[in-house]
Structure 1
Amino acid sequence: MIVPAGGRWSQQVTETSRALDLEPGVFALEDPREIALSLQRSAEASVRRKTDPFRSAMSMLNFYINRAGRNLSPERRACLEAAKHELRRLYGRTSSHEDG
């Protein structure tokens, strides 16, 4: 993968992932359920993902949270963590070890 000068590889992965075609602004949404629904739509529509839709969606969400790291405000992190719970609920998975 070629990263533009001054760019970040994680931003490029998020924007051009071959696993999922993300809806624009998905990680900027304020409602955890809307984030989860968007990731679900992207995962289920993808023909390039390498695993089941739940794992693909959860993996992308975890990737974003991990790459943002300390740059996430506590409120934003809480919203994204809540989106994980919503994603589990959407797929009928309630165990925390299902993070992918």
Structure 2
Amino acid sequence: MTERKRKWSGKVTRESDALDLETSVFASDDPRRIARSLKRSAEMSHRRKSSPFRSAMSMLSFYVNRAGTNLPEERLKTLDAAKHRLRQLFHRE
């Protein structure tokens, strides 16, 4: 399998049609920063097909599902905390 075919999920994260993500947003250790960045990107996007909350949560879930098996447990905890914070930011909890 070529390198390009194996890295399609990274391309989606970098070049999403729905959201223009901040560079290295998922590399942050601060769940609040991740959630705020995703919220800002979703609210500013004019290309998304669903609500800002659903677009932001979808991108975060996509990242976790694609990278999840290779992520350390501590990183998964940070990303799960970002999901919780995202729900709070959109008043869904």
- Give the TM-score of the pair, scaled to structure 2: 0.94
What CA deviation, in whole Å up to 9, does each residue of 1:39-96 have, x standing for no partner?
A: 00000000000000000000000000000021010000000000000000000002xx
Flag the structure with higher helix content.
Answer: 2
- Give the TM-score of the pair, scaled to structure 1: 0.88
**2:3 maps to which of 1, 6, 20:** 6
Q: Is 1:72 aligned with 2:71?
A: yes
Q: CA RMSD in A?
A: 0.7
Q: Hey, which bits of structure 1, 4+ residues long, moved more than 2 A?
A: none
Task: Give the aligned partner of residue 27 of structure 1.
Answer: 26
Aligned equivalents of 1:72, 1:13: Cα separation in 2: 18
Q: Which amino acid aligns with 2:50?
A: T
Q: Is 1:54 aligned with 2:53?
A: yes
What CA deviation, in whole Å up to 9, does each residue of 1:14-34 have, x standing for no partner?
A: 000001000001000110000
Aligned equivalents of 1:76, 1:50: Cα separation in 2: 29
Percent identity reads 62
State whether residues 48 and 55 of structure 2, in contact with CA within 8 Å, keep that contact through their aligned partners in structure 1.
yes
Number of residue equivalences: 90
Aligned equivalents of 2:28, 2:68: Cα separation in 1: 18
Aligned equivalents of 1:71, 1:62: Cα separation in 2: 15
Task: Give the aligned partner of residue 98 of structure 1.
Answer: none
Aligned equivalents of 1:33, 1:69: Cα separation in 2: 20
Task: Specify the SS of the correspondent of 1:59.
Answer: helix
Task: Give the aligned partner of residue 37 of structure 2.
Answer: 38
